[in-house]
């Protein structure tokens, strides 16, 4: 089994945990920007500490930087901030499931952006896996009552818009991070991924701290007040981001995102095992399609 496969699955698990924690943070009264800031606040120093350990333990030298690195890392970092804010904003929407479903179109959007920006093609099996996974994502959506609107019209709402926007932005961030990591040359893949992670999370922390200081007075203090949860958000976010960055370094970002659909299975397992919620036949069918797409990726790529 290629190394990027278990790394991607682990990243998806950490991301699912991080979104659960951020949803709790949102419920404590933090703003969308504040809950998003918590994602980066503790991740940056953790990434810096990990980079220091790797460099000291292995005698590595830091990779040389180029304008291409700063361009890709900066675009990826800003896109991830905006994408995360879109997802956190979804937590306040009644039809959360529909929005998350549209967010998962990031796999298709990442593939299209990768072709345009990096010139990376998609194999026949890769495209098949992406399309099978997309069918599963659509089946897993379980929108609320139609409220007087029938058919597909119930999908076109504010939550769906936020979901589509987050999917596109996460696609941009994935391509940005892969481009930044690849620009670092022939350094060890782990050094490239951790170094990129450290630079990006530091940049994101500074940008969001400045924004909150200017636009949302007192929000940083609220984030620090809930430091126990924000620390867990930062830790799970750092672990997840490290997994994504490493996987992006090793494999086409579209394939990584396609395998990342396993996050939906983690969500439904948590729902059934921890919250004792029932699963419908439609949802089970969707999970089956997602599993099939993952099998195609693992067996044929």
Query: Which of 214 and 111 is assigned the larger pLDDT?
Result: 214
- Over residues 28-50, mean pLDDT: 82
In this structure, the number of other CB atoms found within 10 A of the CB of residue 182 comes to 16
Distance CA 235, CA 257 (A): 21
87-103, pLDDT tens digit by residue? 777 766 655 555 566 67
Rounded to two decimals, the pTM is 0.77
Rounded Cα–Cα distance for residues 45 and 48 (Å): 5
- The half-sphere exposure of 88 on its side-chain side, counting CA atoms within 13 A, is 26
Neighbours of 82 (CB within 10 A): 17
Higher pLDDT, 1 or 208: 208
Comparison of pLDDT for 294 and 34, the residue scoring more: 34
| pLDDT tops 60 at residue 142 | no
Q: How many domains does the chain have?
A: 1
Q: Which domain holds residue 84?
A: 4-143+151-300
**Alpha-helical regions (H) of 104-251:** 106-117, 124-140, 158-182, 189-215, 219-225, 227-250
Mean pLDDT for the chain? 80
* C-alpha to C-alpha distance for 187 and 176, rounded to whole angstroms: 18
Angstrom distance (rounded) from CA 88 to CA 108: 22
The confidence score (pLDDT) of residue 293 equals: 79
The pLDDT value recorded for residue 72 is: 94
Checking if the pLDDT of 274 tops 70, the result is: no
């Amino acid at each position: 089994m290629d190394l990027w496969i278990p790394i991607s699955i682990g990243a998806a698990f950490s991301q699912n945990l991080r979104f659960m924690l951020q949803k709790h943070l949102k419920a404590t009264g933090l703003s969308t920007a504040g809950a998003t800031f918590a994602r980066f606040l503790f991740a940056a120093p953790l990434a810096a500490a990990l980079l220091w350990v790797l460099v000291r333990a292995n005698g590595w030298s830091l990779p040389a930087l180029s304008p291409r690195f700063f361009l890709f890392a900066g675009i990826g970092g800003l896109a991830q901030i905006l994408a995360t804010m879109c997802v956190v904003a979804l937590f306040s929407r009644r039809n959360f499931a529909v929005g998350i479903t549209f967010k998962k179109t990031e796999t298709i959007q990442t593939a299209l952006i990768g072709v345009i920006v990096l010139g990376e093609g998609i194999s026949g099996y890769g495209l098949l896996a992406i399309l099978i996974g997309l069918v599963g994502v659509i089946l897993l959506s379980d929108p609320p009552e139609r409220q007087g609107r029938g058919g597909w019209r119930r999908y076109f709402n504010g939550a769906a818009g936020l979901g589509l926007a987050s999917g596109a932005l996460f696609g941009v961030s994935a391509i940005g991070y892969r481009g930044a990591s690849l620009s670092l040359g022939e350094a060890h893949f782990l050094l490239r991924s951790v170094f990129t992670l450290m630079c990006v999370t530091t940049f994101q922390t500074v940008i969001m701290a400045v924004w909150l200081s200017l636009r949302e007075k007192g929000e940083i203090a609220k984030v620090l007040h809930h430091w126990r949860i924000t620390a867990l958000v930062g830790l799970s976010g750092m672990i997840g981001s490290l997994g994504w960055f490493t996987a992006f370094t090793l494999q086409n970002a579209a394939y990584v995102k396609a395998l990342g659909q396993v996050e939906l299975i983690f969500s439904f397992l948590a729902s059934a095992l921890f919250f004792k919620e029932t699963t419908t036949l439609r949802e089970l069918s969707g999970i089956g399609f997602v599993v099939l797409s993952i099998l195609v990726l693992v067996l044929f790529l």
